């Protein structure tokens, strides 16, 4: 079983790398942001969750932990999974560690480190297909036809939480609540792989991740 945690600030490229990893490894991509948006679309969540997301703050640990626990118990996650956007707080990390420890499994955390100014440029230029979820960026990864999804021709949208004040709040939540989770993993002696994802195209970052994971597997075998 390969439990992978993709860790990084909003705009660090977690979604793109998660898609590439899941296609390559044949395991599911579990994005808590996508799951929450999906539930809101289907009217399953309280207005409070929707309002929290639109403000850029974090949804409560209880709501997110319960949702993830349920998702990890589905059959397709038995061979492993790529978590994108979870854990985002120490209580979430403790919850995930306990869940994995209870099954005799260990996660590998991949930290996508990206320069702050690059993050801002990426987030303000981000566009998404409302139908299939594909992400574009007006500067670095534009669609073939301006404003339309390459895959299904749907009109691309700016996510509500990609407006500038909300971006600031999301980055603030990351610094205050999420970045310390890395320290939690390190202090607990768990594996954290650092990948410099600042300047490189997604395919190159993906190669770096694969090489780092292979090196980590080899050193684990020797231990
Ligand atoms: P994302 O698509 O991962 O950027 O998530 C969008 C929003 O969903 C975040 O700004 C939070 O409001 C909420 N969210 C997603 N994942 C989590 C999580 N693990 N814990 C708390 N809130 C989350």
Structural domain boundaries of the chain?
4-114+168-222
C-beta neighbour count of 148 within 10 angstroms: 16
Going from the Cα of 162 to the center of ligand 1, the distance in angstroms, rounded, reads 12
pLDDT of residue 206: 94
Average pLDDT over residues 53-74: 95
Predicted confidence at residue 43, as pLDDT, reads 83
- In this structure, the number of other CB atoms found within 10 A of the CB of residue 177 comes to 16
Write out pLDDT tens, residues 92-132: 999 999 999 999 999 999 999 998 888 888 888 989 999 99
pLDDT tens digits along 151-199:
999 999 998 778 888 888 999 999 999 999 999 999 999 989 999 988 7
Q: Which CATH architecture has domain 4-114+168-222?
A: 3-Layer(aba) Sandwich (3.40)
pTM score, whole prediction? 0.87
The radius of gyration of the chain's CA atoms, rounded to the nearest angstrom, is 17
Q: What is the 3-state secondary structure (H, E, C) of 150-165?
A: CCCCCECECCHHHCHH
pLDDT at 82: 97
Report whether 195 contacts 208 (CB < 8 A).
Answer: yes
Distance from the alpha carbon of residue 86 to the mean position of ligand 1, in angstroms? 8
Residues 18-27 have pLDDT tens digits of 999 999 999 9
């Amino acid at each position: 079983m390969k439990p992978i945690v993709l860790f990084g600030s909003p705009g660090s490229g977690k979604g793109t790398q998660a898609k590439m990893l899941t296609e390559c490894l044949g395991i599911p991509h579990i994005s808590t942001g996508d799951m929450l948006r999906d539930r809101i679309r289907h009217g399953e969540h309280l207005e409070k969750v929707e309002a929290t997301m639109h403000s850029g703050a974090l949804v409560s640990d209880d709501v997110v932990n319960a949702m993830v626990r349920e998702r990890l118990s589905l059959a397709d996650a038995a061979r492993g999974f790529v978590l994108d956007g979870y854990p985002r707080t120490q209580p979430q990390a403790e919850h995930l560690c306990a869940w994995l420890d209870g099954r005799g499994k260990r996660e590998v955390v991949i930290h996508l480190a990206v320069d702050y100014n690059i993050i801002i440029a990426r987030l303000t230029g981000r566009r998404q297909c409302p139908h299939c979820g594909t992400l574009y960026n007006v500067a670095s990864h534009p669609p073939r036809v301006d404003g339309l999804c390459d895959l299904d021709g749907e009109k691309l949208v700016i996510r509500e939480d990609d407006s500038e004040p909300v971006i600031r709040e999301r980055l603030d939540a990351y610094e205050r609540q999420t970045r310390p989770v890395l320290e939690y993993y390190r202090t607990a002696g768990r594996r954290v792989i650092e990948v410099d994802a600042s300047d490189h195209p997604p395919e190159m970052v993906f190669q770096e991740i694969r090489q780092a994971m292979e090196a980590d597997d080899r050193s684990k075998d020797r231990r």
